[in-house]
Chains A and B, each alone.
Chain A
């Protein structure tokens, strides 16, 4: 056991993430996991401090949980998933005596509110609108394409559809035709509609303390929903100063004192930065693991430092390396999705297995032979990890994986 420092904060982790628990258990802060009751037996068996809680609906009971944590001596709550972001806001507004935090968390949870707030703060966003039913989507698709002076019969420019409260690529659909609209399930409404931006898409992971960016990582997407790597190519890193300014705008606009944000941006061909969306929680796709592979620090432990009101600046300076220059190499991962309709086994392509950049994978044999048609983004079957010195080589390698069969 790592010795826990009683001088430092006592952390509550909201949501069940074994990786996060493992990282925090190895860190010097006391912690308690707040997660659904099904996790209780596991926690008891493994000596994981635990409070059972059902996060299904935010209601007046958030107050109850906040006071329970306060009585327990907890200093701050950290959300691990989109679904626990507003719980953390509600709890921290009690624990830290700052009612503003609840309102702030609501902004992060509603993609439409988030976008309007960003726009009000002078941040450049694309054309967007809210959709409550399929009719709204059709209208938006038509209007965007009329604006682009498309003629009847020309292929449409796509629009993006994002369920309001889903995280990452879950619930993110690209809409080109009215048929695509028909395929949207009812439960994904309401949603945010956005025009499509051609450009370079990337994400930022920013650890924030005292309204200051303490560490900023740029995750370069090779293909959205498939592959990402860190640090980004020198070409994208060249924009780091501008990107940092954009993050500082977010800090001001969303009034962020501390924590961790994970925004997405577009850099268009006319060299403009467009804000996509932002989340107040760790990213999906194991981005923190890629960062750890490249830089050697554990992102969850970094989160704890940011949230803990008792953290000192010295601690932070000792914790984070220098961005880009301290990276040991570039780490990337590829989300594997079967390309064939019917598969029987996992077979890592020979060229991948033998590539010096390939490290290992977390794929397992197929549970079903018939592959469901991929709807929206996300739901990959597992990740393959790569690491190498040359960012361009890594990027091309990740791109090339899309043409290979991992399941045959």
Chain B
């Protein structure tokens, strides 16, 4: 140990040598001297007590220009979710740079240092989020402090513990729990990452303990939903023991279990493995029908159960497994939506039960979801989840918001068409659509924006997006040469007849500048705002395009969303409720425009903004070609407010005569 301490002191001295050189070099000559500093840092972090000397020099390293010329030079723009990847980087210097940056933030957070562009609270908040997002690494070695001090994982675990000792674990849990609840409130189809985080919390609570308090309560609710949602599962007995126990239970006991599962599922949107085991057991073993109780059906769902009980049992047997637990929630939501009462849905689901997957599709599903479960099971589970939770569809990390939006829209508005596409794509590995009478066959087209398509999204997206993306791109090609934004023609042809046929665009495609923005503002009010359109509600979801801006209000790219409804929020203000195919709709678009996902009258999966705020980021919407006579004028003050908000964010230089990148026709390409 003394040897390690000697090493640490010596390396700290070497760090000073390298740091002196960096410090005294002129800005233009610093680049060469950064490498040696990072090199010494990467060795120092491996030594016992190696973080202290780095922390002591953190402010100096920053001032010396260690971060200059890199993204790390703008600490307020750093993203906590990227930290883990950088720490794991194969490039030891990159990892060292991230380490130095974290310790610099720690130095600011604990008040020892300061930074002109970053406040103490911000630093603290950032570190808390980093810790929350990296709980997994963090606890991996917590009982094994005596392990040999080598290996990147160990170094990173020690770094995170070093930081957490100085920031406080209670904060971390609190932030993480809030974050999980916020995401779950949107009822995403994909919950793998959330379940992973909850598992980490369970480990954390178990190993570390934490003080009682609100955080602990919220954390335990989450952990309970996965590992012990009912009276008999509370102690997490294991599936075999639990199944044994079920056989010995009486009717009221079983009923209590069923309701316990349902309550927990509807509380969180998460399905426990015990719930899966219970549901499958009850099909074969229970004297009484426990399915409606275990699914927690409401009156519509119960009605569907009475009509289609045997189909629903078949669906459970075919779709619900320990690899597809969320199918239970999807099915429950599907039944409560009442879509089984649409004539084509029951036969379409029966067709999906007999699906004959082609080999390429089987391989593709396996690529995304592994080989443990038959592809048909995964696909059926995906269909139940997407139709049950149309607004829970996310695009994954893929530039395919158009396709994700279309899948969500069909699930919401045209579920039998969606099932038709699933069957076509799964059995024939192609999709056929028409564009103004011209047939388009996806199998014959080159890959679109999304390349080979996603494998990190829900099963339906994995199946459909490669086809949809190509078709969408082909429709774009067929519009080549037409004046104006091609979405005008593509959107109705791609999504369905219900997309309004006229299209209003705020931006001139050729120049990227605003055109007739006042007309745009007035028309959106008179088409969508109940107080201006004669109180006519929106019937069908409408595709729309927004200018996506980051937290500073800076334009990032064009993005596709769906306008779902326009209605007063809880405090009476008019709001636009919309669907965003980004995986998390709770986004800060800068300049005070923060998209809300709960607490303002949103239903699960909806995002919402005040009407004018929404309009200030909108650049394209669909409208009916005929103008009505009873529309109300839009006051000049409203025009001014919207115009100002647009101007201070994405449209700041679109008013001028400056040359700008034209609005690309792939306006939906998200850069998120």
**Residue ranges of A at the interface with B (Cβ–Cβ < 8 Å):** 18-19, 21-22, 25-26, 42, 45-46, 48, 293, 345, 353-354, 356, 359-362, 364-365, 385, 387
Contact = CB atoms under 8 A, between A and B. Distances in A.
B39 interface: yes
A124 B280 CA distance: 98
Interface stretch (B18-26, B372-380, B440-448): B18-26
B36 A19 contact: no
Interface stretch (B27-35, B320-328, B551-559, B625-633): B27-35
A385 B36 contact: yes
Nearest to B35: A362
B195 interface: no
B40 A365 contact: no
B17 interface: yes
A19 B33 CA distance: 10
A25 B29 CA distance: 10
A48 B35 CA distance: 23
Interface of B: 7, 10, 14, 17-18, 24-29, 32, 35-37, 39-40, 43, 90-91
A364 B91 CA distance: 10
A359 B12 CA distance: 11
Contacts of A345: 90
B36 A21 contact: no
A42 B18 contact: no
> What 3 pairs across the A-B complex have the smallest Cβ distances?
A22-B29, A360-B36, A46-B28
A293 B16 CA distance: 12
Contact of A362 (B14, B26, B36, B90): B36
Contacts of B91: 365
A19 B29 CA distance: 7
Given A293-B17, A356-B10, A359-B14, A46 B36 contact: no
Nearest to B46: A353
Contacts of B40: 359-360
B32 A360 contact: no
Nearest to A46: B28
Given A359-B17, A362-B35, 13 more contacts: A18-B28, A21-B28, A22-B28, A42-B28, A46-B27, A353-B43, A359-B14, A359-B18, A360-B36, A360-B40, A361-B36, A361-B39, A387-B17
A364 to B, nearest CB: 8
Contacts, number: 50
A66 B35 CA distance: 38
A26 B39 contact: no
Contacts of A21: 26, 28-29
Contacts of A387: 17
A387 B13 CA distance: 12
Nearest to B15: A360
Contacts of B27: 46
Given A18-B29, A19-B32, A360 B39 contact: yes
Contacts of B17: 293, 359, 387
Contact of A48 (B7, B10, B28, B36): B28
A22 B25 contact: yes
B28 A26 contact: no
Contacts of A293: 17
Contact of B32 (A353, A359, A362): A362
A16 to B, nearest CB: 12
Contacts of A359: 14, 17-18, 36, 40
Contacts of A364: 35
30 contacts: A18-B28, A18-B29, A19-B32, A21-B26, A21-B28, A22-B29, A25-B29, A26-B24, A42-B28, A45-B28, A46-B27, A46-B28, A293-B17, A345-B90, A353-B43, A354-B7, A356-B10, A359-B14, A359-B17, A359-B18, A359-B36, A359-B40, A360-B35, A360-B39, A360-B40, A361-B36, A362-B35, A362-B36, A364-B35, A365-B91
A365 B91 CA distance: 9
A46 B68 CA distance: 14
A45 B69 CA distance: 14
Contacts of B29: 18-19, 21-22, 25
A379 B28 CA distance: 25
B417 to A, nearest CB: 51
Contact of B26 (A22, A42, A356): A22
Given A293-B17, A359-B17, A25 B36 contact: no
A408 B37 CA distance: 23
A18 B39 CA distance: 21
Nearest to B25: A22
Contacts of B37: 360
Contacts of B32: 18-19, 362
A386 to B, nearest CB: 11
Contacts of A18: 28-29, 32
B14 A360 contact: yes
Contacts of A360: 14, 18, 35-37, 39-40
A22 B36 CA distance: 17
A387 B20 CA distance: 15
Contacts of A353: 43
A88 to B, nearest CB: 22
B177 to A, nearest CB: 41
Contacts of A356: 7, 10
Nearest to A384: B39
From B7, B10, B28, B40, residue with most partner A Cβ within 10 Å: B28
A55 to B, nearest CB: 21
Nearest to B39: A360
A162 B40 CA distance: 38
Nearest to A345: B90
Nearest to B18: A360
- A22, A45, A362, most chain B CB atoms within 10 A: A22
A87 B90 CA distance: 46
A46 B29 CA distance: 10
A263 to B, nearest CB: 28
A26 B26 contact: yes
